[in-house]
Structure 1
């Protein structure tokens, strides 16, 4: 068999493999995942040196390797990424139409004929491009937020395999075309991350608006109650004055109500005023984790009780609830102070930190002075009552 025939056979085999991978992709991923899990369980000896030809496909391992995701083509929003992807894919199609995707030897002869050689290289170029594009499409379809490096390694390997098969005829995937398809992977990954971020921001904004509506309703209801109470005491004051009785106690009540109304109006007008709270949940997160948050509720513990709903196994314990005229700034300062101790470094809007209540108390005391009420130790009543019934291995 001649070199040219061997190349043709090799490319056809590669194309069949790639197309089969495209059809049976999910099964292959499940099999590889099962193999990785079984190997991890069975491994009793130190691992052998990693084979550079192997590509990790386990999402958890990949995400741990890459760290915090960084955008390769920073754009403002997901729609911009979508438009950039559409333009890039149009460029990819144009490169295929203009025969710029595969580098082809210009003077290759077959059976001593340049015409036959051009016909052969044209057919082989189509086979190469189909094989390469099949792998590129597989990489796009299996893209997950954060596993871009794995997809790029797979695509690089496909380009190198095709180059090896076409070495005898000086045929390979052009660097410009490979760059475009690599950029397509980057934009796809960026788009997926941006969509994920925007969904998270939208969810948090809806939560913020719900919280604001609750605060507005509470303040309006409190103002209505105070107005009724004030009207009642004014009527009593009028009757006592008309009969010449002592009105000092009623006047004190009216002063108290006036102060409460002024405070309520201040809370309604000043959106930065509120309560900064420090809470923990050792049954859910362990003893060294706290949440530092903010609420504008009239009764801040209502917010804490909501956080300790069905989403966590035990209610939160409250270590501090501090009212501030500028609670937004105070909360941000505390978050910056413990910024390096966040649980979630990928999403800074999550307010959990590796810190003890005592560590937070010391920082809070430096910023606001002495704290009259602060609990260093959590009660965690339900946690301690339940722990004795847990399996011994827990």
Structure 2
């Protein structure tokens, strides 16, 4: 059967000695790569070097019996197959990886920086350093590893060229996947991007097994660091943006408060002046008015209190409020206001952004309201609605629980309402569609 024919090993198989014929019941080693479809193991003798079958065009049908594929056709077909499989496996991997940012945040509870730095500028500088390292590895041709002993058409040089060309193709696909991961990054989801890139690396190693091809560990680690640093940079930028927004709001609030106190000072001064004039006029007549004198004393106390609060920026009202219609039962907001009229702040919070007005459970004045608010926030920190942004002030707690902690801090409370009225909410529920009535 093999007389006048020469054994033609497929790519990746060891080359047999000249004139070798297989022994009886010989079978290829199962660890060897599978032969390409249409590959002929035995070809007609044509000198010392085995010759491939007649060349066929790449576009021809490989199943055509009149046009059996040669080595070049088989390898081109294999390259096309590898490209298709790489695209399919990358797509499948992306589909099997959860893209639910909320689930990721819930899994970790809060975002943890992979490379903690002080500010966004620090992350930008570190990213530039990583980009330089990536360029260096690529320039030194250490980004992808391929076999140096792969042969093509019995030529080691041709095998190396084919391996290098296919390696460039695979590296381009890997880099494209990495760039896509970075472009799709949002704050809080680096795990998804890293899983996608790891899946791409595994697909390349699997598809390039015949050439011992894989993305180098050094290059892969650099791209992973790039993803982590980009995610950290995005998160830090978001934090700085939120902090700047909070700072602007704080400055506006302080200016508003200063204006309120200045207007109150002017009003009290005018009222005091009128009372003093009235009392002086009565005194000139030899008369007294105890009510006017008592009003003057109360007015002087109000002036002192106003000056104290204007000078002491830590004083103010700590409030405990809830909104059952907006946030459900057993959710409270614990905040601080320095307004002369603290209910003005509650009215602002009850604006158009929420469907119902807030119920006020407590308004407690403290000379160090800032510390008192921080102590309450620290106590209920593990029960915060927003586990990512510590500036939010909503907590899973009942008003009674907050009352107990507040009494432990300040000793006593003159007034505290444990149950909110929620009039608008209760009056509106009967008009809701049935499915919306599930809110307790």
TM-score, shorter chain, exceeding 0.5? yes
Deviating 4+ runs (over 4 angstroms): 4-22
2:111·2:188 contact (CA, 8 Å) conserved in 1?
A: yes
Normalised by the size of structure 2, how large is the TM-score? 0.78
The correspondence for 1:223, drawn from 244, 250, 265, is 265
Query: Highest relative contact order (Cα 8 Å, sep 6+), 1 or 2?
Result: 1
**Do structure 1's residue 333 and structure 2's residue 349 form an aligned pair?**
no
Counterpart residue number, 1:374: 416
Counterpart residue number, 2:206: 164
Counterpart residue number, 2:131: 89
Q: CA RMSD in A?
A: 2.5
1:19·1:134 contact (CA, 8 Å) conserved in 2?
A: no
2:94·2:196 contact (CA, 8 Å) conserved in 1?
A: no
Counterpart residue number, 1:203: 245
CA distance in 2 between partners of 1:76 and 1:8 (Å): 52
Q: CA deviation at 1:380?
A: 0.6
1:367 alignment partner, SS class: helix
The one-character-per-residue Cα deviations of 1:162-221 (angstroms, maximum 9, x if unpaired) are: 112222222211100000001111111111111121222122222222211111111110
CA distance in 2 between partners of 1:7 and 1:374 (Å): 82
**Do structure 1's residue 152 and structure 2's residue 194 form an aligned pair?**
yes
2:154 alignment partner, SS class: coil
Q: CA deviation at 1:65?
A: 3.5
Counterpart residue number, 1:270: 312
Q: CA deviation at 1:16?
A: 6.4
1:295·1:303 contact (CA, 8 Å) conserved in 2?
A: yes
CA distance in 2 between partners of 1:293 and 1:102 (Å): 56
1:154 alignment partner, SS class: helix
1:284·1:314 contact (CA, 8 Å) conserved in 2?
A: yes
CA distance in 2 between partners of 1:65 and 1:198 (Å): 24
Counterpart residue number, 2:54: none
Q: Name which one, 1 or 2, has greater alpha-carbon Rg.
A: 2
Q: CA deviation at 1:70?
A: 0.8
Q: CA deviation at 1:263?
A: 0.5
Counterpart residue number, 1:132: 174
2:11·2:151 contact (CA, 8 Å) conserved in 1?
A: no
Q: CA deviation at 1:109?
A: 3.3
Counterpart residue number, 2:52: none
Counterpart residue number, 1:297: 339
- Where in structure 2 are the equivalents of 1:1-394 lying within 5 Å? 2-3=10-11, 9-13=77-81, 15=83, 54-394=96-436
Q: CA deviation at 1:53?
A: 9.3
CA distance in 2 between partners of 1:7 and 1:335 (Å): 66
CA distance in 1 between partners of 2:407 and 2:338 (Å): 21
Unaligned runs of 5+ residues in structure 2 are: 1-8, 13-71
2:435 alignment partner, SS class: coil
CA distance in 1 between partners of 2:89 and 2:95 (Å): 18
Unaligned runs of 5+ residues in structure 1 are: 23-27, 33-50
Q: CA deviation at 1:247?
A: 4.8
Counterpart residue number, 1:44: none
1:215·1:297 contact (CA, 8 Å) conserved in 2?
A: yes
CA distance in 2 between partners of 1:178 and 1:385 (Å): 60
**Is the deviation greater in 10-19 or in 101-110?**
10-19
1:293 alignment partner, SS class: strand
The one-character-per-residue Cα deviations of 1:326-355 (angstroms, maximum 9, x if unpaired) are: 111111111122222211111121111111
Name whichever structure is richer in helix by fraction: 1
CA distance in 1 between partners of 2:102 and 2:336 (Å): 33
Normalised by the size of structure 1, how large is the TM-score? 0.87
CA distance in 1 between partners of 2:89 and 2:103 (Å): 22
1:219·1:298 contact (CA, 8 Å) conserved in 2?
A: yes
1:7·1:165 contact (CA, 8 Å) conserved in 2?
A: no
CA distance in 2 between partners of 1:115 and 1:52 (Å): 37
1:15·1:130 contact (CA, 8 Å) conserved in 2?
A: no
Q: 1:21 to 1:161 in 2, by over 3 A?
A: closer
Q: CA deviation at 1:156?
A: 0.8
Q: CA deviation at 1:66?
A: 3.9
1:8·1:124 contact (CA, 8 Å) conserved in 2?
A: no
